[in-house]
Structures are given as structure tokens and as C-alpha cells.
Chain A
């Protein structure tokens, strides 16, 4: 029984052409999927679908026991808050909150997340991310590498079941990238955390068990001819 299962997924934005058409994709619990492909091909869109922010045009997405395509918008929001960690290319920290408050945000929106964790665990996590000495500082005092570590830390608070990462290293230099990837690897191993990691940086492949190119997965004609034409 796979943890994440996508069947006959079709998606288009309102008024737009079909962007994604994925017949089948599955992932076991604890596995890490590395998803790559050139920009504009719908990688972020796919993550948005898996996060339940966008709704599939047709097809099915199930994660664990949850059939995401059957949930109402409100239930999807709750499910996302309870089960999902999300890291972005931009770090998406709230500038007027302190580092600690940023890290604790998921617990503000999800009671379940709050209950699943303890102060001790959170402080250990912060310790492992090398952020202990910054937690009461404003976001703007941090370097870029530190900011992305805060974002990762926030995504991991409260033990999410699934981590989605959308090009989290593309703003980082090599040293910071390596540091972040190693931290991520440790945390994943520790918690058996199922992960989907999107990037166009193929050097990161070795950190993950499964590798897919979205261009191969996607049967949408758009991904071949039209998009290619657009990008040239």
C-alpha cells in the first residue's frame, strides 16, 4: 500500500490549457522523491495539488488514508495544516515575527500539530538546525542560509507526515546548499519523513531514493511541444 498515490491526474488553470496529465505516480512511506525538470513545466503546480491548495480537474490524489480529491476546501486546509510541511524557494518568513514565532506558526494554525510536539522537541530541533542563538531575533538579522534553515525548521515542527520542498536551494550558494541538504537528510532519517523535493539542480539527486523527471511523468502535450516553443 503506497503512502502517496496519484491516478489519472489532470489539471488546468481556469481558462488555460491542460498543464498536467499524470497517469500514475506512487510513493512509499518514508521515501524521498526527487522531481526535476525545467521551469514552467508545472512542478510547483503539482506540489500545490498535492498540498490541496489547488483542486484537481480530474483524477485522484490519496495520501495515507486521505483521499484529497474528495475533501472539501475547508477540510483540505485543515488536513494541510495538520499533516504537511512546506519549504519554498523564497523562504517565506513573516518579517515582523521573531525567528521563534515564525517557527511556531504551524502550531498556531493546527491544534493537532501543537499537540504532537513538545517544547523540548522543538528546542532540540532548533538546536540541530544551529538556530538556538537567534530565536528571539528578527528575521532580517539572519543570513540567507540561516533563513532557509528557519523555513525548514518551521516545516518540520509538529512532525508532519509529508514534506514538500519547492526548489529550496535555488537561492543558496553551494556551502549553504550542502549544509541544508545534510540537515534535511538527518531529519528525514530520524522521522521516516516522506518527502517530495523539487529542483532543477541534478546534483542533489543522490540525497533521494526515487528520481523522476516531470517531463517524463507528464503526458500533457503542453509539456512537450508548446512549452518548449514558449521557452525558446
Chain B
């Protein structure tokens, strides 16, 4: 019954009403936006690697192993013998393995030596596969495939020859000049560290280090026969990923690896380690949520102030309603309903803003921050948040409403 009175009354004070709606809209947009960015960052982070049950490397820090194997940050303390890799690879519960050999770079991007298993079994963002937009996966000894970001920044094309650098310093001193690689493929954008990496075969990794036994290139020329795959012997890798046939074997296999006799190894469960790592960053998340809530509080205060100041101007109006039979409680309800409507319209506008900004900022967030935000419908959490606001909405009308109520009791009709 208040419907048209309330709408007209809000329209009558259009400017203040609009400011209130706008302030709620901005708060809602900011709060939901912050949550989405946070969720996007968390997903982007924890979904960098999926479906891998273990990462195995030399004994050391769990975080370190995760960082160099998945994020290509930092460096390993030790290697894993090829014989150990072969043994674990052939254990009955193991479905697949992805070997990784690290330690070189190309113009600041990491070089990863691996085999076709990487292209077949590696998954990120739940079930996404590594795909090529052009060319094929590395097969020959001197084949190289580059990540999307590498291709974009260095403007490389399939067919280009490149020379890799020894070591991972961005300004490495020595280059593998005798063993240039040919780009045979370019990977599709993944929004993960893969984009900033360069992939060669394990054989290629071995081949470019022939003659580097002392850590520096030798001057002697090398017999080209030594570069043939059948003559290349791979003795060690840096770490490897493991997928199991059945998850039930996780604990048993982990114990086996942690107590491996031939050399000290360790196995981490990437999903867990990622989660732990994100937890250590969770204060950022808390700060962001607090900022969002503070903004929301300001929005609510704006409505309280606007309605409260309007109460005095509207004393006459209220007393007219009373003369027409309105209860003081109805006067109270009228104000509550106004605050509800302001919040209601604010939420609608805020959600529109949210999607507007998401559409507008998506390319920038992806390009500049590698933040991958899917434009999805409102989630269950977001709906509950909105519902909560709608419950709070009439409550913030309480203070001005009570004031109007008391006025209307005190003022007679005149």
C-alpha cells in the first residue's frame, strides 16, 4: 500500500535518492568485484596445476619444489636420477608421469625439458589441456615450442631459430651457440606460467650440454653423431609429476617415495601445497574483504543520514498522513520501506555496474595481471550476500523511522 506514495516521495527527492542509490550501487559493485577478483586470483593460483597427484623431486623444501616445478621460480638444490624416475614411473599404481629438466633460460624465460607426456597429461584450471595454436609438439632433438607470452613479446614465429642461454639469470653469460633450436610450435594462451616458458625434449636438454661438463662451453668441435637421439643418454632430471590410477594409493606411494633408498626424494601433493601457500597470503584477502565492508558501511550511513535529514522537512507530510488515518507505525513503516527501496535499486544498479566493469576490465586484467575472470551468473554466495543486504536494508531505516514515529505522535493535526 505504500508503494506509490513511497515511489513518488523518493522521486520527489530525486537527487538525494539518486545519491543514496549510487552510493549503495558503488558499494555493492566494489564488494562483489573485490570478491570476484579475490576468487579469480585464488582460482588462477590454485588451478595452475590440476589432476596431478604428486610432484617428486630431491629432498628439500616442499614450497621450493612446488615453486620451481610449477611456477618456474627459484631453482632446485639437487636432481633426480633417471633410474629413480624409471623405477617410480613403472610402479603398478602409476598412470602417467611428466619428467622435467630445468636450469636454462631464453631471454629471461625458463626452458623446460620434458617429453610428450606433458602435452598429453598436464592439466590446469580443472581439465584444460596444453594446446598448440600453431605447429606441433617438439619431437626432434633441436625442436622447441614456445609459450604464448614468449611468442607475443619476442614476436617469434614457427620456423625461427633461437639460441638458448645457460643458467637462469636473465643476463646469462654463456649461450648454447653451437646448438641452435628451431621453433616448431607455439602454445595457446593458458594464463599460467606455461605462457612464459619454452619447451624442449629431454634429448635436446642433454644435447645442448654436451661439452659443458666443466660448466662452461668447450672450444672443441663436437662430433655431430653425438647429437643423434640414440647416442644421447639422459642421466638425470630435475623433478617429475605423477598421476595415479587410483587416488587410494596416495599415502602408500608417498611413503614409498619419502623413504626411497637409492637417493633422498620427496613427494608433495600440489593441491594441498597450493592451498597452504594461498593460506599464507590470506591476510591480503581479509584486508580486501574489510575494505569492501567498510565501503558498504559508508553506503548505509549515507542512507541513514539522507533519510534522517529528510524527516524534519517531511513532518508536515507525516501529519497529513496521520490525519488520513495512518498509524504512527505506518509512518515508521513508510521510512523503512523507503530505505529498503533505496537499497533494492542500489543493488540492481550495483550488479549492473559489476557486470559492466567485468566486461570492460576483463581484457586488461588478463593482459596486465594474468587474472582470469570468467563472467558468470551470480553465485550462491553472492545471492546470499544480496539477500543479507535486503534484510539489513529496512533495518537501516530504523533510526530515521523511529524519529518520524515519535514526531508523528507528538505533532497533532493542523
- A residues bordering B, Cβ < 8 Å? 44-45, 47-48, 51, 53-54, 73-74, 77-78, 80-82, 84, 86, 88-90, 92-97, 101, 105-106, 108-110, 113, 154, 166
Contact = CB atoms under 8 A, between A and B. Distances in A.
A96 B11 CA distance: 8
B8 A109 contact: no
A81 B317 contact: no
Contacts of B317: 94
Nearest to A102: B320
A53 B412 contact: yes
A48 B323 CA distance: 9
A94 B325 CA distance: 15
Contacts of B327: 74, 77-78
Interface in B327-367: 327-330
B15 interface: no
Contact of A109 (B4, B12, B326, B412): B326
Nearest to A44: B414
A74 B409 CA distance: 11
Nearest to B410: A14
Nearest to B326: A109
A74 B324 contact: no
Given A92-B320, A96-B12, A97-B5, A81 B412 contact: no
Contacts of A94: 5, 317, 320
A109 B321 contact: yes
A97 B325 CA distance: 18
Nearest to A47: B413
B175 interface: no
Nearest to B329: A74
A50 to B, nearest CB: 11
B2 to A, nearest CB: 8
A25 B327 CA distance: 28
Contacts of B320: 92-94
16 contacts: A44-B413, A47-B413, A53-B322, A74-B327, A77-B326, A81-B326, A88-B323, A94-B320, A96-B12, A101-B8, A105-B321, A105-B324, A109-B1, A109-B326, A113-B325, A166-B414
Contacts of B329: 74
Interface in B288-340: 316-317, 320-330
Contact of A95 (B12, B323, B324, B325): B12
A78 B412 contact: no
Contacts of A54: 412
Nearest to A160: B325
Given A53-B412, A92-B316, 19 more contacts: A44-B414, A47-B413, A53-B413, A54-B412, A73-B328, A74-B327, A88-B414, A89-B414, A93-B320, A94-B5, A96-B9, A96-B11, A96-B12, A97-B5, A97-B8, A108-B5, A109-B324, A110-B324, A110-B325
